[in-house]
Amino acid sequence: MAHSFTKIPVSPGGSAARRRVLVTGAAGRIGSCFAEQTHQRYDLRLMVRGDESRIESIKPFGEVVTANLADLPELKRSCQGIDTVVHLAANPSPSATWRELLPDNIVGTYNMMVAAKSASVRRVIYASSVHAVGGYPTDVQVKNSEPVNPGDLYGVSKCFGEALGRYMAEQEGLSVIALRIGGFQPVEEIQKGNRVSGAAMFVSPRDLVQLISKCIETDGLKWAVFNAVSNNAFKRLDITDARELVGYAPQDNAATLAPEFQAANLTNPLHSASLRDPGQKSGLREDL
């Protein structure tokens, strides 16, 4: 089976230094959440366009810099002295047209990875999306090793970023980890109800921040693509690789949070159709 990751040797002792992290799209929902939860753990440089409403709220969490994804020299300056880039900035609309996606999701992604390589950044964590594989039927759990299958042009733009990231890792020596982020929303939102349709893709803020942090701190990976959803009873995306390779241990489960699931009592173990079910006995029992 094809692997969705490439390993590299780990230097003895690893890195004990406090990491310097550049977050693009730092005033967005994920960026501002990440900054708030990790500013005591990392030295953050928070990149914004300059016109976002959340800029004042993120200033206590790190150095705020203004740069445009279209300006490669600006991006190179923003990357100076940085260990890891968490690249979140993009047009986030699944309904966006090609003309709307091209500047930030295609050209901007290229510029950001080139700037990171130019500045000798160790790793880029690229915010891909479940939309990169959204073309699979809804009853299919998508594994990292399966081919991309975008269901919209936004997903196509994320496939481009994944492909570019792998090229940068395998051919240019820049470590890149792509995260296919599911339905990011605060726990309070899924608790409001009417969220069952997206429960299989749910990723909570603390789970996503945990996964990003583990991707920052893990050595030994040249390239990887991980699925970023919480520990939901039903998972649209398989998270086995993230568990095994970086120690991702999500804490939240949409089935225990959404009111519509309460009557189903999904906190109990689901039937597995195997000997893991308490009432099912070993077929070998008479011969043991």
DSSP 278: T
To the query of whether residue 154 is one of the catalytic residues in this protein, the response is yes
Nearest in space to 182 (alpha carbons), one of 192, 163, 197 = 197
Interhelix angle for 109-118 vs 72-79, to 10°? 50
- One of 42, 126, 136, 154 is an active-site residue; which one? 154
Residue whose token pair is 């390993």: 7
> In the chain, how long is the greatest CA-to-CA distance?
74
H helix runs in 126-285, sequence order: 153-172, 187-190, 205-217, 240-246, 254-257
Residues 6+ apart with CB under 8 A from 3: 145
Q: Can you read off the two tokens belonging to residue 220?
A: 């030994």
- Active site amino acids: 154
